[in-house]
Structure 1
Amino acid sequence: MKKAAVIINRKSGKKKKPPVEYGVLRALQGQGYDVEILYTDGSDAKALAMEASEYADLIVSSGGDGTIGEIIDGMVECASDASLSILPAGTVNDYTRALGLPLDMNEAIRNLSKPQETIEVDVIRFNGRHAAYLIALGDFMESFTGVSSKVKNRFGLFAYLYAGLRALFTMKNYRVTIDTAEEKVMSDSILTIVANTSSVGSFDRLLPQARVDDHQLHIINIQPSTAKEIIEIIIAAFRGRIVEHGNVHYMRTRKLMLDTDRLEVMDVDGDAESFNAMEIEVVPACVRINVPESYA
């Protein structure tokens, strides 16, 4: 019998959610899986994924982007043969957006019962670890990720404009060095992003050129900007045209060195972590993700 491990982060998201166990069990058992439910607070999701990889044909992540990142890190580290299905239980759910999957949990659970197509996705390796899709530096990023889905859906662009302008009065510049085979950049900055997905910071089309399987790292670096320029950048980001702004430097590469003069914290897949100078590279096609055929 096929085996599935469902890793549930009950702390994901900012509001209480109905339990997902019954729906997941029904969907997977209906597909012939012997199902084990595992719980995490996020800190041990990597270890759980490594343990589950020893016996599971399928791993299901029910959590946010950080939980997905931890699970993918564990799967890559142990060269897992399992495939991964995703249930969006986070606040931002960038990775789900980038895959074009529904953000509604009930629909996502129903999709587990549908015929699946497997895609091989890239991951980001940095200093011996792996991220699913994102490494970001700077206070500006926090202003975007802090916009809740409810507020975003109600106010759209204006919610981002408000958050970005509010951040303008508190964020601090830093000096960044980005060294790739193609070019070297040394610049004062307010935001640096290394990603392999189109959706970042809940902007669905921040990097519309990026795909989870294009074997590229997509980098944007934003230099210090005035209030007028911040408004222009946010509008451009909302329209999927941020790389066209004069204060935004855009690069594509497979490998880079990244360092700053003063930052102590960075954002990895939506979670804050300690920053250290690092070598970053794309690892092509190393995790298999299940996507319903109708969404593939």
Structure 2
Amino acid sequence: MRTTLILNQDGGTIRGMDAREFGDMAAAKLSGNGGEATVRLVSGSELVDALKDAAADKDTGTIVAGGGDGTISAAAAACFHSGKTLGVIPLGTMNLYARSLGLPLDPQAAIEALATARQQPLDIATANGRPFIHQFSAGMHARLVRQREKLDTSTRVRKIASTLKTLGRVIMRPPRFAVEIDTGSGPERQVVSAISVSNNLFGDTPLSYAPILDQGVLGIYRSRALSSATVARMALNAAFGKLQDDPDVTSRTAQKVTLRFSDSRSGSKAAIDGEIVSLESEVECVSHAGALQVLVPDTYAGAREK
């Protein structure tokens, strides 16, 4: 079966590279085991259509996506729906999914790792049917993402600077809203400043990503309604990878959870894998254990013995 590489030329890392030369090198490396590999260079606006074409191509068995986390999330959704295998080349700023897989963050080293990677079923989650590989969130994280979109995030340094700037704004005016959480044992209602549902549990690192992607669970994180001082403390705990030790953050696991936002206003927003979407009054998140085939290197923390 063919391997189709789709490289988002708007990704943060690839802008400083010769994209065609890199794509040809990657295709040559990934066709080294005898299979055919082709490459498409696309802009961000062309990405979704390119992924749809690859997903519909009966001769393509693996889609290798190169770009940032938004690109990888879109590719994962295409592979989940089509049954094709996902490969990842980190060409973005944070590269959270590549970190989850234990892939090298250097693009050329990642290609080398993919050339010897094995196919493994990993988990993917959905929010009202929409796939996500990182998290669905409402409240502080969604507000931070929404406000950051208005600033310059064209490079890693600018993205970090924009994140710090928007974090300051969120600290000064933390959101406050009611949510009903139901994991099947009866609903619980709480006024919170943030709620997130992750695809597997986050690790103890400053960046929010799951180091193991095949536990078949959702991580459900929530904070009570916070003051500016407690948000600042929470941000410091997050920066040192100790968010789960914060007394104002509670976490639990489930395979399915329903969130009800009874007092949400028109125009309220949520974030799914970093993309801002309208917040629906009821959101059902489901873990689909082993439903996504992924090329996994030997350095993946959840690697199983053959």
Partners of 2:51 and 2:2 lie apart in 1 by 19
Q: Is the 8 A contact 2:174 2:227 kept in 1?
A: no
What are the equivalent positions in structure 2 for 1:136-175 lying under 5 Å apart? 136-141=137-142, 143=144, 149-150=156-157, 164-175=167-178
Partners of 2:6 and 2:231 lie apart in 1 by 39
Deviation at 1:183, TM superposition (A): 5.2
Out of 283, 286, 306, the position equivalent to 1:281 is 286
Partners of 1:292 and 1:84 lie apart in 2 by 12
What residue number does 1:95 align with? 97
Q: Which amino acid aligns with 2:75?
A: I
Deviation at 1:286, TM superposition (A): 0.9
Q: 1:150 to 1:197 in 2, by over 3 A?
A: farther
Out of 270, 278, 295, the position equivalent to 2:274 is 270
What are the equivalent positions in structure 2 for 1:78-117 lying under 5 Å apart? 78=82, 80=83, 82-113=84-115, 115-117=116-118
Task: Determine whether 1:64 maps to 2:65.
Answer: no
Deviation at 1:216, TM superposition (A): 0.4
CA RMSD, 1 decimal: 3.1
Q: Is the 8 A contact 2:63 2:79 kept in 1?
A: no
Q: 1:248 to 1:49 in 2, by over 3 A?
A: farther
Q: Is the 8 A contact 1:120 1:288 kept in 2?
A: yes
Partners of 1:46 and 1:170 lie apart in 2 by 39
Out of 181, 196, 199, the position equivalent to 1:196 is 199
Q: 1:49 to 1:243 in 2, by over 3 A?
A: farther
Moved more, 276-285 or 4-13: 4-13
What residue number does 2:184 align with? 181
Deviation at 1:110, TM superposition (A): 2.7
What residue number does 1:6 align with? 5
Out of 69, 74, 80, the position equivalent to 1:76 is 80
Q: Percent identity?
A: 23
Deviation at 1:43, TM superposition (A): 3.6
Q: Which amino acid aligns with 1:12?
A: G
Q: Deviation per CA, 1:84-137: give whole Å up to 9, x if none.
A: 210112222211112222222222123233x22332111112222321221111
What residue number does 1:238 align with? 239
Q: Which amino acid aligns with 2:295?
A: N
Deviation at 1:141, TM superposition (A): 4.5
Q: 1:103 to 1:183 in 2, by over 3 A?
A: farther
Deviation at 1:220, TM superposition (A): 0.6
Deviation at 1:45, TM superposition (A): 5.3
Q: Is the 8 A contact 1:94 1:199 kept in 2?
A: no
Q: Is the 8 A contact 1:4 1:36 kept in 2?
A: yes
Q: How many residue pairs were aligned? A: 284
Q: 1:170 to 1:89 in 2, by over 3 A?
A: farther
Q: 1:161 to 1:96 in 2, by over 3 A?
A: same
Deviation at 1:180, TM superposition (A): 1.0
Q: 1:61 to 1:55 in 2, by over 3 A?
A: same
Moved more, 142-151 or 181-190: 142-151
Moved more, 168-177 or 97-106: 168-177
Partners of 2:75 and 2:37 lie apart in 1 by 17
Q: Which amino acid aligns with 2:105?
A: L
Deviation at 1:269, TM superposition (A): 1.2
Q: Which amino acid aligns with 1:243?
A: Q
Q: Which amino acid aligns with 1:212?
A: L
Q: Return 5+ residue gaps in structure 1 as ranges.
A: none
What residue number does 2:230 align with? 229
Q: Return 5+ residue gaps in structure 2 as ranges.
A: none
Deviation at 1:239, TM superposition (A): 3.6
Q: Deviation per CA, 1:124-183: give whole Å up to 9, x if none.
A: 122223212211112445547959744799x9xxx9777533321244322222211245
What residue number does 1:50 align with? 55
